[in-house]
Amino acid sequence: MKREGSPKVPTRSKPSRRGSWIGFAGLAWELLIVGSLALNLVAIALFASPSLDEGGAPPLDFDAEASVAASAALVGSKHSEGRDEEISVSSTSGSRPTSKDAVINLDHGDPTMYESFWKRMGHRGDITIAGWQGISYFSDVTNLCWFLEPEFDHEIRRLHRLVGNAVADGHFVVVGTGSTQLFQAALYALSPPDTPHPLSVVSAAPYYSSYPAVTDYLRSGLYRWAGDASAFKGNIYIELVCSPNNPDGSIREAVLKSENGTIIHDLAYYWPQYTPITHAEDHDIMLFTVSKTTGHAGSRLGWALVKDKDVAKRMIKFVELNSIGVSKDSQFRAAKILKAISDGYELPNPKNKYKLFDFGHLLMSVRWKRLREAVKVSGIFSLPEFQSSYCTFTGKRTETYPAFAWLKCEKEGVEDCENFLRSHKILSRNGKHFGAARKFVRISMLERDETFELFIERLSSLT
């Protein structure tokens, strides 16, 4: 097998990274022109060929109610406004829209917008694994996390040094099957084993909709979901702090301050394409995921940076009991993917073509502009506003472009925004799943261009 992630750190000069952001203007044009050409071609294909890409896709996350809603929309549903509606076209979930009338599925945060970047990268993200390689359960028995591939470990630390978003030195790296597994490993590690009552797990609303479901689905005797942190009374707890926050993009700190409380920082979106990097986070437990860093959600990989050795050990024990380690194949691939990103900034890259964060930031900025325009045209929605900040990675003031839009329906008489959008064949996630009002929905901003464009067109037409 040829893998190129050997632990050699290429030298790099800091200014090249900053300069690259500025020198990205040329690429911006290129991207916009290519993007609009692509959109035209897609539009032609969409309207001329209804049979384009009809492959179905499995549900992508664990929100049962959302999946039921999505399925109902696909086969025809009776929605709350009392009209029968036959929706016989396929959803965009996991695939491209098949027609102008397609059901647009923005319920899941499926990061397919990154596909075009990785196509542009050519073979830079490819790996070949020989049949005989990666057979053992073990990756490195000298490492506390014995199922962590050394190259993946190396590339994680290298990327954090490059971006400056988190302090990896002095932390153990624990790898997991998605940060979803690591979240559960952290709950397990932080809960006293001999507790007479389950420990309360809280997060300030609106909180990531998976937190309650993932915390409670096994009805653990160790911990249980206790809702909105802002309403919590008590001083022993685990508080989940997601920053930038899913669903509303806000920058957050813990709201509870007890000495006996513990905190898990979920930093899935603390990357320069979504938010200015203002400082390197340095917390006891920090969770990251390749899903939202590079777009490789299908690899199912996340990592935790953990300060305390005993906590790290217990998290590792959880992953051992739960899945006897983590796929080596995925780690080989992720190591190569992370390496390609760091190389894009640290090695010569004349046209700035291979800079993932530049690509992501530009695309998100265009999308947020288009979304804000559509919201204005329609006049019946509102969106949160964000302040710009100085980004230490780019060396410039940059805006916040969250991975999700936290959309509020302001239309008179509409109490349930999800139902309202569903009646227009747009699938979103209801505010109620985030501990918020039904007037809110969460919309994914990470879908492919064709799906996003169709969404903007449809949203603008709603009055």
Ligand X SMILES: Cc1ncc(COP(=O)(O)O)c(C=O)c1O
**Shortest separation between residue 242's beta carbon and ligand X, angstroms:** 5
Task: Give the residues across from 263 on adjacent strands.
Answer: 239
Q: In terms of CB distance, is 273 or 289 closer to ligand X?
A: 289
Q: Confirm if 199 and 222 have CB atoms less than 8 A apart.
A: yes
Nearer to ligand X, 92 or 352 (CB): 92
How far apart, in Å, are the Cα atoms of 370 and each of 107, 139, 363, 367, 459? 19, 46, 11, 5, 11
Cβ distance to ligand X smaller for residue 87 or 272:
272
268 near 242, Cβ under 8 Å? yes
Nearer to ligand X, 111 or 261 (CB): 111
From the CB of 213, what's the least distance to ligand X, in Å? 12
User: Closest distance between ligand X and the C-beta of residue 208, in Å?
Assistant: 5
Q: What is the closest distance, in whole angstroms, from the C-beta atom of residue 268 to ligand X in the complex?
A: 4
CB of 243 to ligand X, least distance (A): 9
Distance, in Å, from the CA atom of 396 to the CA atom of 21, rounded to the nearest integer, reads 9
- Quick one: 303 or 354, whose CB is closer to ligand X? 303
- Smallest separation (angstroms) from ligand X to the CB of 16: 30
Residue with tokens 């064949």: 425
3-state secondary structure of 242: strand
Nearest distance, CB of residue 29 and ligand X, angstroms: 32
Task: Locate 283 and state its tokens.
Answer: 């917390």
Cβ pair 180, 299 in contact under 8 A: no
Which residues fall within 8 angstroms of residue 85, CB to CB, at 6 or more apart?
76, 77, 78, 79, 423
Evaluate whether 97 touches 46 at the Cβ level (below 8 Å).
yes
Residue number, 24 or 274, with CB nearest to ligand X:
274
Q: b/e per residue, 414-423, with b = 16+ CB within 10 A?
A: bebbbbbbbb
> In this chain, which residue has its C-beta nearest to ligand X?
178
Cβ closer to ligand X: 34 or 64?
Answer: 64
The reply to whether omega before 206 is within 30° of 0 (cis) is: yes
Judged by the rule CB under 6 A, the positions of this chain that interact with ligand X are: 109, 178-180, 208, 242, 246, 266, 268, 289, 291, 297, 302
Rounded distance between C-alpha atoms, residue 160 and residue 175, angstroms: 15
